[in-house]
Structure 1
Amino acid sequence: MLAGIGVALVAGPLGCFVVWRKMAYFGDTMAHSALLGVALGLLFGVAPMIGVFAVGLVVALLLSGFLQKPFLSGDTLLGTLSHASLALGVLLISLMTWLRVDLLGYLFGDILSVTRTDLLWIYAVGGITLILLARLWRPLLALTVDRELAGAEGMNVISCELTLMLVIAAVIALAMKVVGILLITSML
């Protein structure tokens, strides 16, 4: 229960910007790519949360770069990245026959398997995320209202957008065990 409350406390304010900026499908793409992060984390013998954050960073950088100079529409790019990374994650996990992976636990979460260490991570990173959101609230709000106007006011638009994407990736990595990769977008 404490884990669910911790995730909800962070997902609520973050979800405001996801909805206001019409980034719901972006959140879905980041969540689907998390399974690839889990697979890579398990493959390289590191914590799945680290793999999820690393893949989230790569996806955020790719999306940021591709959306600056689009050669495909945003929806096409998000859909391709979303489903390709989910499929690659399932494929990698299925090829790791030496490991027994609870795929349903990663996809839909398992709130009953949360440990004290997980709670510590949820509240520590959640607190940092909330502090970061509080500091960036005005720039993110200005960016949400009008991207060009925010840039004209001297705000570094690209770094602010990238920070928001990375915060979303961190929250997805945290919430993965509690609510699952497929259901986290419903909280955002």
Structure 2
Amino acid sequence: MPALWSKIYRRELFGESLCHYPMPMGQDLLLNLQIGCRVARVRTIDYVGYNYLQRAGSSIHRNKLTFDYCKKFAECVDDIFARNAGAVAPERAEFLSLVSGLWWYVGYISKSSNSWRGSDELAKKLHEMAPRYRKALRTIFSGKQLLLFRLDRWRALRPAVIALSTVFRWGESIKRRLSR
């Protein structure tokens, strides 16, 4: 969970060398990546002491996820790893960059109103890197998300991606309503 509210940090981790990326969504992930490049270990506890409420008018719901945003976020992540070269093994940095880029890109392609962008350099890069980490990606992303990603590689399959993403969203909506 990239959120800042779900963690306790040492004060000294928030020094002047942290870079602020003015992004409307995901700033907490960018900050956590920078801090993660500075610490040798992280401890976790199995305790839930915070309830998180999402409001319909919050920035995460107001801001539209565009492909340009996905690209900008990927550039920020790559910048963090470039600025912290040596702190993270190159193959680990590549994997984390892939996970971050794929997370935003899958969010983008899951919206039926978004146009196909599979020929863009970012999409090509993600499709090129993904097979090297197929097994690890299955532990992070759902089978549905990975299916949409694989199908969205070809423009001719974009209608199928739109149909599937719509069906998946309806299914999630029905599940949420039935659980109330």
Question: Normalised by the size of structure 2, how large is the TM-score?
Answer: 0.29
Higher relative contact order (CA closer than 8 Å, sequence separation 6+) = 1
Q: Report the structure, 1 or 2, having the larger helix content.
A: 1
Give the number of the structure whose alpha-carbon radius of gyration is greater.
2
Question: Normalised by the size of structure 1, how large is the TM-score?
Answer: 0.28
